Amino acid sequence: MKNVFKSNRLIVPIYINEKLVLDMLAIMEDGFSMVSQVNYTENSENNNSNGIDAGVDTSSLLSKLLKINVSGTINNSSSKEEKEFVSKEKVHTNVSLLSKFITYLENQKILKSDINISEINIGDFIEIEGELQKNPLINYMDLFVDLQLKVLAQRAPMLNKLKDKMQRKIAETDLNATMKYDLNTRLESMPKNNQICHGDFNPSNIIIKPDGIPYVIDWAHVTQGNGAADAARTYLLFNLDGKKEEAEIYLRKFSEKSNTEKRLIQKWIPIVAAAHLSKASEEERAFLMNWIDVVDYN
């Protein structure tokens, strides 16, 4: 049978809290599966035809004299119908399940559209048309990472080495000797470079003038070394400020734009966290210790 498909079912629904919607769908359907079993029967018809030929022939003499030749044919045809049971799996995606949910709301006439915002009540299901736009945070992070990469692209041979500074900072901590040894061993194993590392690259150290030109300030911690270490510190600063979403977007963007594997940046995090301990508050210290104790990123 040919499927009759409505074009409006191709609309992809967007929900503020997708997990909540899937939970509601599971409640309505007493649970659901991402895979459905579809069974149907196919009919096929086979026609069989059997024929029997019979002939009576006189002797050659009579045949010639009387021209007699008797023959007969018996035909028998039959039709046989066969049934074949077919089983297939239908795989659902989150979007198809969410589409199923909106269809349910429409059928039950509980989905409201073209409604005045002042008339919305708690528990109402509403549908609002809108235009999807790129998250402004993504645009901002693109500019932020591009600016950091411009800094890293510069060279200043007379600057202090990043590794030397890290070793000094680790020595100033009250960590036990074993932890200091492990951190210094990790530090020595990290690849060297001579990129300019700002040392405190975060949004509060960027000023954008009215003409749109950005300026980087506070160069007190600048060194030359591996840019992945500078990225690890920026990632850590976002997390220290409670901006976990920004931290993850930043890490992904920096990794993509600098062509650096995430794990190479993450391997710097325990070292950077330890170097930050000397000036950390008690609250920050507990957070940093969790990063120092993380397992190695393979």
The 10s digit of each residue's pLDDT in 6-40 is 555 555 566 666 777 777 777 777 666 666 566 65
- In the block, residue with structure tokens 């794990």: 263
- What is the pLDDT, as a whole number, of residue 19? 73
* Residue 149 to residue 152: CA distance in whole angstroms: 5
Residue 296 CA to its chain's centroid (Å):
24
Count CB atoms within 10 A of the CB of residue 287: 16
Helix (H, G, I), strand (E, B) or coil at 114: coil
- What is the pLDDT, as a whole number, of residue 60? 45
* Residue 133 to residue 40: CA distance in whole angstroms: 43
DSSP 161: B
pLDDT band per the 50, 70, 90 thresholds, residue 288? very high
- What is the pLDDT, as a whole number, of residue 121? 82
Strands 125-127 and 223-225: unpaired
Q: Please tell me which residue, 230 or 37, carries the higher pLDDT value.
A: 230
Query: What average pLDDT does the segment 36-58 reach?
Result: 53
Q: Please check whether residue 144 is in contact with residue 206, taking contact to mean a CB–CB distance below 8 angstroms.
A: yes
pLDDT digits (tens, 9 = 90+) for 187-217: 999 999 999 999 999 999 999 999 989 999 9
Q: Please tell me which residue, 69 or 131, carries the higher pLDDT value.
A: 131
Radius of gyration of the chain (CA): 38
pLDDT digits (tens, 9 = 90+) for 127-178: 777 776 778 888 999 999 999 999 999 999 999 999 999 999 999 999 999 9
Q: Please tell me which residue, 75 or 197, carries the higher pLDDT value.
A: 197
Which tokens belong to 283? 């609250």
pLDDT band per the 50, 70, 90 thresholds, residue 76? low
Q: Please check whether residue 250 is in contact with residue 235, taking contact to mean a CB–CB distance below 8 angstroms.
A: yes
- What is the pLDDT, as a whole number, of residue 6? 55
Q: What angle do CA 273, 278, 279 make, to 5 degrees?
A: 95
Q: Please check whether residue 288 is in contact with residue 280, taking contact to mean a CB–CB distance below 8 angstroms.
A: yes
The answer for residues whose C-beta is within 8 angstroms of residue 233's C-beta and 6 or more apart is 199, 200, 201, 268, 272, 276
Mean pLDDT of the chain: 79
The answer for residues whose C-beta is within 8 angstroms of residue 56's C-beta and 6 or more apart is 69, 70, 71
- What is the pLDDT, as a whole number, of residue 148? 98
Query: What average pLDDT does the segment 206-234 reach?
Result: 96
* Residue 228 to residue 120: CA distance in whole angstroms: 49
Helix (H, G, I), strand (E, B) or coil at 103: helix
